[in-house]
């Protein structure tokens, strides 16, 4: 991905090295964490309990890692990608006669607190609607390459664009509607709504990717990197890896095939109207 010449976003908040204090989690915060926190296959119960884990440092203590050149470049890269998403969504919202309010990107190390609770790096990147911020521990990008076998800078860009897609859903009121429906639904129906929410965010990431492609920011192999990342974090793939079998009714983010299909739909159409994953019988 050609990103070095692009502008950098002013909406990056660097909290690396700052320990997060425990925060009670409930209501929409816990629902959103359950909905979004499983993006990369981790059990949200590991962090919904806040400070209960013995591996967590005391509140207010530092969880810093030595900052190196590689991590600083990842910070620079993330700022560039965020700026790119800002430009794309500002244009799309303007065309719809709406105003886009860009999210903040919070960089943290170890754990972080937000209106959604105290979260550890193990949960992976997540979006918190309570403060309209995307949270990411930059060490995740190394894990994306090693654990999920999804290398490449555009795979990393896809991760950021997906979380920004959740921000777009929040601005559009989609998250509130889903949360309301989930409160009235059974577990199976609630999981299905979660899948549709995630697939729409994948489609929104694809819409952004098409714009980047038209600008000439993509290089050979970039689309394949994003599709590989979408495949790697499918529910079926993750369940097969972690427990040896799949339970479709427990899916919350969609299969590898679904995630690829919806990202590709956004990429090929560039039309957010084609990203309505809720009004289709089978997403």
Q: What's the CA gap between 275 and 283, in Å, rounded?
A: 10
Confidence of residue 42 (pLDDT cuts 50, 70, 90): very low
Locate 258 and state its tokens.
């679904």
Task: Say how far apart CA 89 and CA 82 lie, in whole Å.
Answer: 11
Q: Across the chain, what does the average pLDDT equal?
A: 86
Give the model confidence (pLDDT) of 108-128 as tens digits: 999 999 999 999 888 889 999
pLDDT of residue 123: 87
Dihedral pair phi/psi, residue 14, rounded to 5°: -95, 110
182-197 b/e with 16+ CB inside 10 Å = b?
A: beeeeeeebbbbbbbb
CA distance 203 to 209: 10
pLDDT at 68: 82
**What φ, ψ does residue 17 adopt, rounded to 5°?**
90, 0
Between strands 12-14 and 126-128, the pairing is unpaired
pLDDT of residue 67: 60
């Amino acid at each position: 991905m050609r990103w070095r010449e692009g502008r950098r976003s002013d909406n990056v908040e660097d909290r690396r090295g700052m320990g997060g204090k425990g925060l009670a989690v409930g209501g929409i915060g816990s629902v959103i964490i359950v909905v979004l926190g499983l993006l990369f296959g981790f059990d949200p119960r590991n962090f919904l309990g806040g400070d209960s884990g013995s591996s967590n440092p005391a509140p207010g203590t530092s969880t810093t890692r030595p900052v190196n050149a590689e991590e600083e470049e990842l910070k620079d890269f993330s700022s560039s990608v965020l700026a790119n998403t800002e430009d794309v969504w500002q244009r799309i919202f303007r065309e719809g006669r709406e105003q886009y309010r860009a999210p903040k990107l919070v960089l943290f190390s170890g754990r972080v607190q937000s209106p959604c609770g105290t979260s550890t790096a193990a949960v992976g990147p997540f979006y918190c609607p309570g403060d309209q911020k995307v949270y990411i521990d930059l060490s995740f990008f190394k894990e994306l390459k090693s654990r999920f076998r999804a290398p490449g800078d555009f795979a990393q860009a896809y991760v950021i664009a997906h979380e920004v897609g959740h921000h777009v859903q929040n601005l559009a009121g989609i998250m509130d509607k889903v949360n309301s429906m989930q409160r009235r639904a059974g577990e199976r129906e609630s999981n299905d709504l979660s899948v549709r929410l995630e697939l729409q965010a994948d489609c929104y990431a694809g819409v952004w990717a098409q714009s980047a492609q038209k600008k000439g920011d993509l290089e050979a192999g970039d689309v394949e990197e994003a599709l590989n990342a979408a495949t790697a974090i499918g529910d079926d793939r993750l369940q097969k890896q972690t427990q040896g079998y799949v339970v479709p009714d427990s899916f919350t983010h969609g299969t590898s095939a679904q995630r690829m299909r919806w990202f590709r739909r956004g990429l090929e159409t560039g039309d957010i109207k084609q990203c309505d994953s809720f009004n289709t019988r089978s997403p």
